């Protein structure tokens, strides 16, 4: 798979060697960071300690295509845009000059590389920490947990607690991007490096045991996706707040973060559309706005506005999506190389995050749309406490 060569950068980046990405769900910028946010730990406490990126955007709707773009630079397919309810192989018919795999499906062939592939080639380390993965062994393994190829994805719906599964299981494969690349799932690395979130505390005990990249996905309650949750908790931004208030201090107190760490907290896609309910009929309207001259990619195959109607839990749902972007989410970054209360209005998206990680780790080729001409990576507007 083609990776685009990185032009020389004029910016001197701080010597960050440990990045922690915390990916949350479906919230627009104003709801998360507004004055009345139900997540004050994020919107006030952490905001006062780090850099708020006010113009950070998702790259698609629904969830999965955003996660894939962060780790590989690949744009949406018609299947990943719909969250791959069936765990299908990606059937590739070609490769575009800009590094996009041409084809349809969900699980990319081994030729399609990810940030994990890049890190390993550089002798660096990574892990995916997935909350609840393996809680119900009948659905997924506790390491490298994914459906059987070409089978229905049973993790699309959260499981409530039962006597057999006391904690329930709110893991969602679609929020674990590493499961959509044969270069990972066909490798012994997968069982070693895609693990339950509970392993993070142990790994954080020393610099040597902390991966260079930690990709952290909360469960469907704590990432804000569900509200209320299958276990009775509120979900949404309230549960996001509780999760971050527990885990961010643990990360910030770790030797690796203190030495040379960066925490990135963002959301897969914006949730700023409208919902209209008339009895059992529900209409969801999604703007689909984007930034940074984002390209649609070769595989979506839709004309916008795009309307689809489906049945779910006894309701008839019509979803109206007006463009292919992921809408504005914002992002919050924390590091000793960032002055408190920094604000950046530079436009960024998930491809920018991938490009930024590549540049920080000294990787000299960009994957997919991370190599798009003119795309900004995090620079002096973010790292305001370095030189």
CB atoms within 10 A of CB 342: 18
| pLDDT at residue 351 in the model | 99
| pLDDT at residue 2 in the model | 39
| pLDDT at residue 274 in the model | 87
Determine the Cα–Cα distance for residues 223 and 217; give it in Å rounded to an integer.
Answer: 7
Q: Residue 249: exposed, middle, or buried by beta-carbon count in 10 A (0-12, 13-18, 19+)? A: exposed
| Mean pLDDT within 75-83 | 97
| pLDDT at residue 7 in the model | 40
> Which residues have CB under 8 Å from 13's CB, separation 6+?
359, 360, 379, 383, 386
Residue 115 lies in a domain: yes
Residue 170 lies in a domain: yes
At 312, the pLDDT band (50, 70, 90 cuts) reads confident
What SS3 state is found at 191?
Answer: helix
Residue 297 lies in a domain: no
Residue 285 lies in a domain: no
| pLDDT at residue 225 in the model | 96
Torsion sign (Cα): 25, 29, 30, 35: positive
User: Does residue 1 register a pLDDT over 80?
Assistant: no
Residue predicted with more confidence, 116 or 273: 116
At 287, the pLDDT band (50, 70, 90 cuts) reads very high
Q: What is the pTM of this model?
A: 0.96
pLDDT digits (tens, 9 = 90+) for 121-174: 999 999 999 999 999 999 999 999 999 999 999 999 999 999 999 999 999 999
What SS3 state is found at 236?
Answer: helix
Q: What percent of the chain has pLDDT over 70?
A: 97
| Mean pLDDT within 78-91 | 97
User: Does residue 285 register a pLDDT over 80?
Assistant: yes
What CATH code is carried by the domain that includes residue 238?
Answer: 3.40.720.10
Residue 80 lies in a domain: yes
Determine the Cα–Cα distance for residues 192 and 144; give it in Å rounded to an integer.
Answer: 8
Question: Which range marks the domain in which residue 27 is found?
Answer: 3-271+326-371
At 271, the pLDDT band (50, 70, 90 cuts) reads confident
User: What is the torsion angle, in degrees rounded to the nearest 10, for the CA atoms of residue 145, residue 149, residue 151 and residue 155?
Assistant: 20
Supply the mean pLDDT for the chain.
96
The total number of structural domains that make up the chain = 1
Q: Residue 306: exposed, middle, or buried by beta-carbon count in 10 A (0-12, 13-18, 19+)? A: middle
Residue 379 lies in a domain: no
- 146 in Cβ contact with 64 (< 8 Å): no
| pLDDT at residue 10 in the model | 53
Determine the Cα–Cα distance for residues 232 and 242; give it in Å rounded to an integer.
Answer: 15
Determine the Cα–Cα distance for residues 329 and 319; give it in Å rounded to an integer.
Answer: 20
Q: Kindly give the residue spans of alpha helices, DSSP state H, lying in 155-288.
A: 182-185, 189-193, 199-203, 236-252, 255-260
Judged by average pLDDT, the poorest of 5-9, 10-14, 289-293 is 5-9
- 253 in Cβ contact with 310 (< 8 Å): no
Q: Residue 91: exposed, middle, or buried by beta-carbon count in 10 A (0-12, 13-18, 19+)? A: exposed
Residue 320 lies in a domain: no
User: Does residue 86 register a pLDDT over 60?
Assistant: yes
**What is the chain's Cα-based Rg?**
19
| pLDDT at residue 275 in the model | 87
| pLDDT at residue 238 in the model | 98
Residue 104 lies in a domain: yes
| pLDDT at residue 59 in the model | 99
């Amino acid at each position: 798979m083609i990776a685009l060569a990185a032009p020389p950068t004029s910016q001197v980046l701080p010597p960050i060697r440990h990045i922690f990405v915390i990916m949350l769900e479906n919230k627009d910028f104003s709801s998360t960071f507004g004055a009345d946010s139900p997540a004050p730990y994020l919107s006030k406490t952490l905001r006062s300690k780090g850099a708020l990126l006010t113009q950070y955007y998702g790259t698609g709707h629904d969830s999965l295509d955003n996660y894939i773009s962060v780790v590989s630079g690949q744009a949406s397919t018609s299947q990943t845009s719909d969250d791959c309810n069936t765990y299908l192989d990606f059937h590739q018919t070609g490769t575009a000059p800009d590094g996009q795999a041409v084809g349809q499906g969900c699980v990319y062939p081994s030729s399609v590389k990810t940030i994990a592939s890049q890190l390993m080639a550089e002798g660096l380390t990574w892990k995916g920490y997935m909350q609840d993965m393996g809680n119900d062994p009948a659905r997924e393994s506790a390491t490298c947990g994914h459906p059987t190829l070409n089978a229905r994805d049973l993790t699309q719906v959260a499981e409530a607690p039962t006597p057999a599964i006391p904690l329930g299981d709110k893991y969602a494969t679609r929020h674990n991007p590493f499961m959509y690349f044969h270069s990972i799932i066909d490798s012994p690395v997968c069982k070693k490096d895609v693990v339950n979130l509970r392993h993070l505390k142990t790994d954080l005990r020393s610099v040597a045991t902390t991966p260079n990249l930690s990709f952290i996905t909360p469960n469907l309650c704590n990432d804000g996706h569900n509200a209320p949750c299958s276990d009775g908790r509120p979900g949404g931004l309230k549960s996001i707040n509780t999760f971050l208030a527990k885990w961010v201090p643990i990360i910030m107190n770790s030797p690796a973060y203190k030495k040379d760490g960066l925490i990135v907290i963002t959301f897969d896609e914006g949730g700023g559309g409208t919902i209209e309910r008339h009895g059992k009929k529900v209409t969801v309207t999604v703007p689909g706005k984007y930034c940074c001259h984002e390209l649609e990619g070769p595989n979506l195959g839709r004309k916008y506005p795009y309307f689809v109607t489906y049945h779910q839990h006894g309701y008839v749902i019509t979803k109206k999506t007006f463009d292919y972007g992921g809408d504005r989410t914002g992002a919050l970054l924390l590091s000793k190389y960032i002055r408190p209360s920094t604000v950046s209005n530079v436009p960024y998206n998930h491809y920018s995050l991938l490009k930024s990680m590549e540049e920080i780790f000294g990787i000299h080729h960009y994957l997919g749309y991370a190599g798009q001409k003119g795309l900004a990576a995090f620079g002096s507007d973010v790292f305001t406490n370095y030189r």
